[in-house]
Amino acid sequence: MRDIWVYLSASPLVHLTLTLVAFQIGAWAYRKGGYNPLLNPVLIAVLQLVAILNLTGTGYPEYFAGAQFVHFLLGPATVALAIPLYRQLERVRRSALALIVSILAGSLTAAGSAVGIAWALGGSRDTLISLAPKSVTAPVAMGVAEQLGGLASLTAVLVILTGVLGAMLGPLVLSALGIRDWAARGVAMGTASHGIGTARALQESELAGAFSGLAMGLNALATAVLLPILWRLLF
């Protein structure tokens, strides 16, 4: 079987197919589970792929040679978030001040709480830096971490973990807190758990998805600008 795998893995389409199949299995489990947020399709797909790559001894660069086709589609998918945002443009204009204040507060809280907890537990300087941008979309978070001297690879893992946990637990926490307004739920999801949280918000409602996409973008901008300044002032 290992010889067969070596032969098949020579084609980048194998890893693309594995990625798509793993996600479809995750989506199937999500539907069968009554759309339970704990059965997040991304988490299920990641667990499957990690297990397969470990069993076959496949390195990430080799895997990414095929999976990069899906990675390329992240760009158009992100741009497509502008569609629900455009449809809710009037509501966004009326909420502009509240949005700016909420996203700034959320951005500072996300970074400050993570760094504070890690510092209290004795985390190293590299760990603290890598944790700070965890709630921002991966390319921005990795860039900020590298700029400050952190570990971009660790930041990437933390970003994915944050997004998955936010998508899984965010709606449950917001409902438990009695937050029913779709715009408020969207801002919370987008600020705390970037793209994966935004995908979950879109499943709840278009209004939540629109505000989540906007919050994700503004949080990335705020973190990229403010975090390096605050880090150098404080540390």
Q: What is the pLDDT of residues 150-203, one digit of tens each?
A: 888 889 889 989 999 999 899 989 999 999 999 999 999 999 998 888 988 988
CA distance 152 to 162: 15
Percent of the chain with pLDDT over 70: 95
Least confident of 66-75, 147-156, 207-216: 66-75
Would the pLDDT of 213 be above 60?
yes
pLDDT of residue 61: 83
